[in-house]
Structure 1
Amino acid sequence: MKSAPSAAAASAEPLAEHVYRELRKAIVRCEFEPGTRLRVEELTRRLGASSSPVREALNRLAEQGMVRTLENRGFRVAQLTAEGVEDLVRVRLLVECEALRDSIAHGDDAWEAGVVAAAHSLGLVERRLGEGPRALDDDWSARHRAFHLSLYAGCTSEILRGLVDVLFDRAEHYRRWTAKHRQAPRRKHDEHQKLMAVALARDADKASELLRRHIARTSQLVTSVLNGDPPEWVQ
């Protein structure tokens, strides 16, 4: 992560928003280990910003559950726990399945084209990486995120889309940490292709069921790694 915002980034968004997004990205990518103390003075140097936007970013991330506030002791990166995964998955299923159903019901031609383009882009980087590790590749992660969010882009609720965005990054934090500690990779290409196909076929029931399975598999893998017991199907 750059120590100071670039001219392009500064002109594209307010400094406070840039600081928030950079810090959120750093946490998601596990540049700070779970439980790490986040010192405002160190972050101001790292991000090239004053303490005000850094504190604002930390408070926003605390509201989203990615950071924990300590009474009179500042901030820490949230711990990753099996209980936290279970709770997160429960909310993701409620929010993302509803957002997907709404997208399927209201998505137009542009939505379909966006889903196809995002799936194709993800497939390209997967072919480039071959059998190598993907989960910790930043390009793959960005395209993977773009594909999932493209599925919800047709949703008519701005609130739902905002919740999906935050929940996906919270899940991504778990996924990236898990990828650093598991023994073998999980291949999700077929799951993504099937999800795309049923969404474009406007089969909301089947798409929701595939999404539930997709999220559940991730939850199972994360929980198993947290418990030190990788499941057989990822070995």
Structure 2
Amino acid sequence: MNAPASAPLIDVALMKMKKAIVCCELAPGEKLKVAELSKAYGLSSSPIREALNRLTQDGIVEASENKGFKVAPISKEDYKEISRLRCLLETEALSESIQHGDDEWEAAVLGAFHRLNLIEKKLTGSTLALDDEWSARHKAFHFSLFGGCSSHLLLRMVDSLFDRAERYRRFSAHQRVKSRDKSGEHQALMNAALERDSEKAVVLLRNHITSTLDRVVEAIDRQDATLQ
């Protein structure tokens, strides 16, 4: 989620702020003042403002004529909708990949799983859940599964929703009270995909997404309880 050194200033601002929001460094509901962000990132106000407008389109920033910009709040309703759409779109991308994926697709899935498994052997618990490199490899694994999908529009929509869901996953990881065998879930999902068992793979992916939904809802409920 880091922009290359030679990237346009708007892309630099976009990547920096997107990472800060997804990682919950900029808290849900926090006001985003252009002048303060410009100073923090060493950029002029123009790329900052344009990046904020783009993040508004992505759904992780809210804009108001009177109140400016703020980080989009977290809510159970929002995440339920994100999860519902992920189940619809990601299972479609996965089904197409299983149907059309070739030898290169299979090799890419195996490689992405191996890289994810390597870092999981080094990290444990909340350290793993909040690690940036694990998050990058986790996303790479999921998108390797979709690598046989030919619809660029579908994959762009999946990518946007995945990033929005990542903010919630990070939020819940800060409050995690139950362990989860995500590695086992990933391996079962990979095996079903490589066995070309589309029906089983779709069920596993849907369960994988809804399991995270359950944990996010619990985390939001715990936070709300502490505020009462």
TM-score by length of 1: 0.89
C-alpha displacement at 1:72, in angstroms?
2.2
C-alpha displacement at 1:109, in angstroms?
1.7
Whether 1:196 and 2:194 are equivalent positions in the alignment is no
| Distance change in 2, residues 1:72/1:130 (3 Å) | closer
SS of alignment partner, residue 26 of structure 2: coil
C-alpha displacement at 1:130, in angstroms?
4.2
Q: State how far apart, in whole Å, the 2-side matches of 1:202 and 1:48 are.
A: 49
Whether 1:66 and 2:56 are equivalent positions in the alignment is no
- The answer on whether the counterparts of 1:16 and 1:57 sit within 8 Å (CA) in structure 2 is yes
Residue type of the alignment partner of 2:32: L
Where in structure 2 are there 5+ consecutive unaligned residues?
224-228
| Correspondences of 1:150-165 after superposition (within 5 Å) | 150-165=144-159
Whether 1:45 and 2:47 are equivalent positions in the alignment is no
Q: Which residue, 5, 9, 20 being the options, matches 1:10?
A: 5
- The answer on whether the counterparts of 1:179 and 1:185 sit within 8 Å (CA) in structure 2 is no
SS of alignment partner, residue 84 of structure 1: helix
- The answer on whether the counterparts of 1:133 and 1:185 sit within 8 Å (CA) in structure 2 is no
Identity among equivalent positions (%) equals 50
RMSD value over aligned CA atoms? 1.8
Of 128-137 and 141-150, deviating more is: 128-137
Residue type of the alignment partner of 1:31: E
C-alpha displacement at 1:133, in angstroms?
3.1
Partner of 1:178: 172
Whether 1:139 and 2:133 are equivalent positions in the alignment is yes
- The answer on whether the counterparts of 1:89 and 1:216 sit within 8 Å (CA) in structure 2 is yes
Residue type of the alignment partner of 2:98: I
What are the Cα deviations for residues 27-85 of structure 1, in whole angstroms up to 9, with x where unaligned?
A: 11111110000111111122222212211111111111111112222111111111111
Q: State how far apart, in whole Å, the 1-side matches of 2:125 and 2:158 are.
A: 30
Partner of 1:232: none
Q: State how far apart, in whole Å, the 2-side matches of 1:63 and 1:73 are.
A: 17
SS of alignment partner, residue 134 of structure 1: helix
Residue type of the alignment partner of 1:81: S
Where in structure 1 are there 5+ consecutive unaligned residues?
230-235
Partner of 2:123: 129
Q: State how far apart, in whole Å, the 2-side matches of 1:205 and 1:130 are.
A: 31
C-alpha displacement at 1:182, in angstroms?
2.3
C-alpha displacement at 1:214, in angstroms?
0.3
Partner of 2:226: none
What are the Cα deviations for residues 180-216 of structure 1, in whole angstroms up to 9, with x where unaligned?
A: 1222442301000010111111111111110000001
